[in-house]
Amino acid sequence: MTEHPDAPRSRRERPAKPALSRNGIVATAVALVRSEGLQRVTMRRLAQELDTGPASLYVYVRNTAELHAAVLDDLLGSVDLTPVTTPGDWQDRLIRILGSYGDVLFEHPGLAQSALVARPSGERYLDLVEAVLALLAEGGVPGDRAAWALDLLLQFATATAAEHAPRAGAGSDESDRAEEWDALAAVLRGTAADTHPHVAALGADLLAGSGEERLDWGFRVLLNGVLHTPR
């Protein structure tokens, strides 16, 4: 109303520093996570991006854990929930949704790690929960089991993604991971058959299979298990 067309001409230099707000902070954090990865999204770095000091963020965000939860909830917006209403086997559709959830986390394993410790509870997360419960109900899973099955399924997907998080500290990556895998394979090969017969017998089979195959099998194990295990 009484707003000047080009109002406060004070000290504004280029892109105009927008006022801080929780949404703005989270949105900037999401953009930063997308472009540079979670490791770089520290309170200090985020503050710098917003052209302020880190202390200012604490007016809108309780701590780093809460920030991560908010970022994750935002990213969860890209989970494909359409299989809820698609025709076909309910287990396959449920696994497709969980797989989509897993995909999001696989791109940000550090967030998966956070999610394990501080479960998100935002809008998008709630939508995901609703979708999973809807399909479990469609499959005839009793309510009391569905409640716990939900956690089992999401925890499995989350933990599997978290396994790929970079270890803190010095930048490692593919090479480190491969090295680790080789080391583990060597340990297994070197395991004496007389002290660890079962390990020796299975040998390389213990490491067989792609992550995707294992994930899919794990989901089916959980679903079959839920169907066969009353409380």
**Which is nearer to DNA, 7 or 168 (by Cβ)?**
168
For the record, the structure tokens of 14 come out as 């280029």
In angstroms, the CA 145 to CA 87 distance is 24
Please name the residue that has the structure tokens 């593919």.
Answer: 174
In angstroms, the CA 184 to CA 190 distance is 10
Binding of residue 183 to a second copy (CB under 8 A): yes
Binding of residue 177 to DNA (CB under 7 A): no
Q: Report yes or no: 121 and 69 within 8 Å, Cβ to Cβ.
A: yes
Q: Which of residues 104-163 bind a second copy (CB under 8 A)?
A: 113, 116-119, 121, 126-127, 129-130, 133-134, 137, 143-144, 146-152, 155-156, 158-160, 162-163
**Which is nearer to a second copy, 30 or 69 (by Cβ)?**
69
Q: Which of residues 58-87 bind a second copy (CB under 8 A)?
A: 63-65
Q: Report yes or no: 149 and 95 within 8 Å, Cβ to Cβ.
A: no
Query: Which x/- pattern, by CB under 7 A, does the window 62-91 give for DNA?
Result: -xxx--------------------------
Q: Report yes or no: 116 and 162 within 8 Å, Cβ to Cβ.
A: yes
**Which is nearer to a second copy, 100 or 160 (by Cβ)?**
160
Residues that bind a second copy (CB under 8 A): 63-65, 113, 116-119, 121, 126-127, 129-130, 133-134, 137, 143-144, 146-152, 155-156, 158-160, 162-165, 167-170, 180, 183-184, 187, 191, 195-199, 201-202, 205-206, 208-209, 214, 217-218, 220-226, 228-229, 231
